Amino acid sequence: MKPLSEIIEEVESRISAACAASGRTRGDVRIVAVTKTHGPETVAEAIEHGFTIIGENKVQEAEWKKPLCPSGAEWHLIGRLQRNKVRRALEIFTHFHAIDSIPVLEKIASVAEETGAAPSLMLEVNVSGERSKGGFAPQDVPAAVEKALSLRNITLEGFMTMAPFEPDPEKTRPVFAGLRELRDRMEAGFGARFPELSMGMTNDYAVAVQEGATLVRLGTVLFGERPKARVQRSVDAGDAGESGEGGGAYDRVLD
């Protein structure tokens, strides 16, 4: 593995090139450093190298990890959130990328009202229509936006999607363009601003940036391959149903 500083230089130059190619500026795009399955030392290294947004996909894992990490970063939940974990999640995270149901929206707003939290939310949209992907179907997004706008104590900041893995990342372009167009329709229809588009991962972030991503979620390119689960994944009720990928070394610790 190359030193992180060198990797960052390469990522930075690809993001800058993608911005230049699409008439955007580097400042329009922020990187979410996705540290799932990695330990607190990786989070510390990321923060030392200037990352200010840490992305985790599981409440339980972040709950354990965050107290062992330096402060000074925003923690974003990039995986799906279940209703029964909203209270715990609001103690850890300020930003939620993958809101995928109206009951979860309502629960977040009601807990936020109680606790004084002011979370920023993005709705996950299943633009590709792949059955394995989470998120609202595009036709269900207007109702979700309407609901989000009616709730107090939360801010709907934008939308998130995951493209199917494509060996040729160019093929993901319609998915990212689709999310941007959906966002534009929601802004026009509701007369509101939804500035954030969370899209692009290791394989496809350059394309996502060209199509308007404001948050790219990068794990593997920064920190290497994630450890594969060596033991049966934890199947306790608390863990079931969360974003499937990314189990690994820490399952053992959490069991």
Ligand X SMILES: *Cc1c(COP(=O)(O)O)cnc(C)c1O
Binding residues for ligand X (CB under 6 A): 34, 36, 57, 78-79, 162, 201-203, 217-221, 243, 245-246
Q: Read off the amino acid at residue 20.
A: A
Instruction: Name which of 145 and 162 has its Cβ closer to ligand X.
Output: 162
Cα dihedral 80, 83, 85, 88 in deg (nearest 10):
110
- In the chain, the N- to C-terminal Cα span, in Å, equals 30
Instruction: Name which of 86 and 163 has its Cβ closer to ligand X.
Output: 163
Instruction: Name which of 112 and 208 has its Cβ closer to ligand X.
Output: 208
Q: How far is the CB of 147 from ligand X (least distance, A)?
A: 22
Q: How far is the CB of 217 from ligand X (least distance, A)?
A: 4
Instruction: Name which of 97 and 151 has its Cβ closer to ligand X.
Output: 97
* Residue from 32, 90, 72, 82 nearest 56 by CA: 32
Beta bridge partners of 198: 160, 215
Q: How far is the CB of 229 from ligand X (least distance, A)?
A: 14
* Residue from 122, 131, 130 nearest 77 by CA: 122
Instruction: Name which of 16 and 203 has its Cβ closer to ligand X.
Output: 203
Instruction: Name which of 119 and 200 has its Cβ closer to ligand X.
Output: 200
Query: How far, in Å, CA of 143 to CA of 139, rounded?
Result: 9
Q: How far is the CB of 235 from ligand X (least distance, A)?
A: 19
Q: How far is the CB of 121 from ligand X (least distance, A)?
A: 15
Burial 36-75 (b: 16+ CB within 10 A, else e): bbbeeebbebbbeeebebbbbbbbbbbbebbeebeeebeb
Residue of minimal Cβ distance to ligand X? 219
Query: How far, in Å, CA of 98 to CA of 61, rounded?
Result: 17
* Residue from 234, 232, 229 nearest 37 by CA: 229
Q: How far is the CB of 253 from ligand X (least distance, A)?
A: 19
